[in-house]
Chain A
Amino acid sequence: MLRLKVLNNSIQKDLMLKRYEQSHVKTVTLWFEENPIQAREGESVAAALLAAGVECLWTAHVSAKPRMPYCWMGVCYECLLEIDGEPNRQSCLIMVRDGMRVRRQSPAIGKT
């Protein structure tokens, strides 16, 4: 149910987001559920994860169905993640930092 799919960079087909910007910028590494994710300086955590092939940041409260951020401006709360130990962070508003520790938090965990 809580699938984590970190795709190989060569498989572009299933990615939700791709990068338009081709200019070289500083790469940072963040940790998502213990997996290293390469991101670019100045990206939001949510965008970096989706562009890296993470399919699901958050599952719905009741049905545990996968969800994706809808608004990208801090309204829909479908990007909530635990960032550096702090829960309920709106990851579409927070920029990546090198060494950042990011975890999924799901209200569905523990429910049947």
Chain B
Amino acid sequence: MMDETFDLVIIGAGPAGMAGALEAAKHKLSVLVLDEQSEEGGQIYRAISTNERLRPETYALLGNDYQYGKKLLLSFQQAKVKYLSGAVVWQVEDDRSVHFLLNGQAHQVEAKRLLIATGAQERPVPIPGWDLPGVMGAAAADVLLKSSGTVPSGRVVLAGNGPLLWLSASRLAEADVEILAVLETINFSNYLLALPYLPQALRAREYLIKGLKKKMQVRRAGIPVLSSVHDLRVEGVDRLENLCFTHRGKSKSLEVDTLLLHEGVVSNTQLTRQLGCDHDWYELQSYWHPLLDEWGNTSVEGVAVAGDGGIVAGALIAEASGHLAALEATYQLDKISRRRRDEDARIFRKEINNHRAIRPFLEHLFRPNPEILVPRDDSTLVCRCEEVTAGQVRQAVEWGALDLNRVKAYTRCGMGQCQGRMCGLTAAGIVSEAQGKSPREVGYYRCRPPLKPITLGQLVGTEKEIKPP
């Protein structure tokens, strides 16, 4: 049996959530960590608690950056916090009541302070035919390797841009996956745009070196790398058969079994949206993120965000930001002085500044491909759940749907089981372009509970105490 009120409830057990829990536990806060996955680690350290034992070959292949997560995990496991895996949060109220499902049973707990550490998602890459089986995310393939020791079979092509495309390509190459090619969608002009930020990036040169190594590893494996690839299109009846694209002005086609797409990662804003936090549009990388102060506080009292859910910046910054948000929660609950908070925060701020030096360079170099931000081909599926095409979204705008919620009402775009997670950014791109307005003006879907599927039976049977399983 346990208390129904916690000093700090943390949603998400990735680097930000684990670090926040550690810091809060150090200051004797009562902490509950809820995570929808079966074990700690988030996506970056997915399956970190079992891989070494269950999948030693996979664990070895994943390398140092992944294995670093083990240190964090061990500290987290020793900390005095209540951690529930498989806990699916489906609603948070602005009085910080947190509703979640655990083993099919609905629960409710109260939080004095709430820390949302739900991280990022891979940006959906809408190209014609991307809904066919055989097409998935490149970061998704990396997650599959981590979480199940499985890799795509047959002939694989990776297409898109971003550090994770290369990370995934290098790991799959090492895992002896048959990679036909890596198709880069960025243009030469991106390098020119990124160049002014190179001197600053050299302060965090370890990232540059790692990135170049991955790229070299792919080339050394004899995998062709094509740059400035355009007009990606998937053909097939019941599954992916051909990948078509333009390279140096020529149309090409490849017979492929698996296509892995990647155009960066974006903040996961479902929970902060549902809570009514203020958000802003991040123009450079084209995504929405909650507005935060230097401690991670959102515009909603007592609610903070740490990690990539605030702004995408990687695992090490996520970890440091988790500490900062927990220090702030500790201070706000009168467990430490303002001075102690500021002093303890110094080391984490320094850490964040060091790692952040690479971001402007990366974010200018790897800007998402404009072709997928606003798909040109009217037949491209925008909403996979309700099967709404780019043409239908444009049509809705013509009929007078001026904002995203109107588009949703006209077309059902964003009304399916994923609740807009897969189509929101694309729909926003199309609607804002069609009207010549900024995405800020066309807004975003209203995110309503339940954020995750829950049955009426489960809803009726909500428990206010968490019984031991």
Chain A residues with CB under 8 Å of chain B are 12-13, 15-23, 25, 40-44, 47-48, 50-51, 55-56, 60-63, 65-78, 80, 86-88, 90, 92-95
Contacts and interface: CB of A to CB of B under 8 A. Distances in A.
Nearest to A84: B104
Contact of A42 (B50, B176, B238, B384): B50
Contacts of B371: none
B144 A70 contact: no
Contacts of A87: 453, 455
Interface string B409-446: 00000001110011000000000000000000000000
Contacts of B368: none
A18 B153 contact: yes
A95 B149 CA distance: 13
A74 B139 CA distance: 13
Nearest to B55: A21
A77 B385 CA distance: 8
B36 A61 contact: no
Contacts of A47: 144, 147-148, 150
A78 to B, nearest CB: 7
B58 A73 contact: no
Given A66-B238, A75-B421, A60 B384 contact: yes
Contact of A76 (B147, B238, B384): B384
A63 B148 contact: no
Contact of A22 (B57, B145, B422): B57
A72 B140 contact: yes
B453 A88 contact: yes
Contacts of B38: 93-95
Contact of B386 (A61, A66, A76, A92): A61
A66 B239 contact: yes
Contacts of B135: 68, 70
B43 interface: yes
Nearest to B61: A20
B122 A21 contact: no
**Would you list the 10 A-B pairs with minimal beta carbon distance, nearest first?**
A21-B149, A47-B148, A68-B133, A88-B453, A18-B153, A72-B140, A42-B54, A77-B417, A77-B418, A43-B148
A23 B421 CA distance: 36
Contacts of B416: 61, 77
Interface of B: 36-38, 43, 47, 50, 54-58, 61, 86, 104, 121-122, 124, 130-131, 133-137, 139-141, 143-145, 147-154, 175-176, 238-239, 258, 268, 384-387, 416-418, 421-422, 453, 455
Contacts of B238: 65-66
A20 B134 contact: no
A71 B137 contact: yes
Contact of B175 (A20, A67, A73, A93): A20
Contacts of A60: 131, 384, 387
B153 A12 contact: yes
A55 B86 CA distance: 26
Contacts of A13: 154
29 contacts: A15-B154, A16-B134, A18-B151, A20-B58, A20-B175, A22-B57, A41-B54, A42-B148, A44-B147, A47-B147, A60-B384, A62-B387, A65-B131, A66-B133, A67-B131, A68-B135, A70-B135, A70-B136, A70-B384, A71-B121, A72-B136, A72-B144, A73-B143, A75-B268, A75-B422, A76-B421, A77-B385, A88-B455, A93-B37
Contact of A71 (B133, B136, B154): B136
B453 to A, nearest CB: 4
A87 B452 CA distance: 12
Contacts of A48: 148
B140 A73 contact: yes
A86 B36 CA distance: 16
Nearest to A56: B133
A90 B36 CA distance: 10
A86 to B, nearest CB: 5
Contacts of B137: 70-72
A16 B154 CA distance: 8
A14 to B, nearest CB: 8
B145 A23 contact: no
A95 B384 CA distance: 25
Contacts of A41: 54
B136 A68 contact: yes
B140 A70 contact: yes
A55 B386 CA distance: 21
B133 A16 contact: yes
A87 B453 CA distance: 9
Contacts of A42: 47, 50, 54-55, 148
Contacts of A50: 150
Given A68-B134, A71-B136, A95-B38, A44 B153 contact: no
